Amino acid sequence: MDIKNKNVLITGGALRIGQALCKAFAEAGANVIIHFNKSADAALRLSGELGGGGKHRTVCCDFASPEDVASLCSRAGRIDILINSASIFQPEPLTSENADGIRAHFEVNFFAPLMLMKNFREQLNGDSGCIINFLDQDVAKVSSGSGSYSLSRKALRDATLSAALQMAPQVRVNGVAPGPVLPPVGMEHSRMEQTLKNVPLGRPVDLRDLTRACIFLAENESITGQILYVDCGQHL
């Protein structure tokens, strides 16, 4: 797919990895739709920074609200590429996690992107499209302490593979599973020393490597049903 002048909806696009994705796709010539929930100022500021004479825009949606999610695609306008990068990360062992925490992870990390995939395909009206779902490198193993966060990511992994089969040949669906890219929110000054001890390459994932992987998956029309680990080997 030639992504130049294609419309790409990037969920969670106002901050962190989502922001880097917006910048990379805009630089590659795509028209970026920046989804946000509570980060309106950051989304509007990013839209202005991307330039493009108004070709980029923002859209608000609360992924904890099924009604809000159901209308997102229609409010966003025509979409050619969907990147599900929004998530919440509140890891806690299943033995101590409460029901509200479990529901929150599944609403945002699984149900919302699943419904967006379905609605995205419908709005294509028979044209071809591309979906990239952000996962986590720990979908490759059993997690001892991540609870429903890990389970919600694994559910989306399985949905990614099922959708790749069921939505073909109209829509290609792939997943990206990052490793340590940025420190967690609230720990911005952390150097992630403890985490990096278990990473074969011994360093964080370069944001540019992550964004280039997504552009590669969007452009390569022979790839679908793949989970691409961009994690410096952490899943091993």
Ordered by where they begin, the domains of the chain are 7-229 (3.40.50.720)
pLDDT average, residue stretch 113-139: 97
pLDDT at position 101: 92
Which residues share a beta bridge with 132?
Answer: 83, 174
pLDDT at position 51: 87
Backbone angles phi, psi at 227, to 5 degrees: -110, 110
pTM: 0.94
Lowest mean pLDDT among 12-16, 152-156, 160-164, 189-193: 189-193
How many CB atoms neighbour CB 94 within 10 A?
Answer: 15
Average of per-residue pLDDT values in the chain: 94
pLDDT at position 94: 86
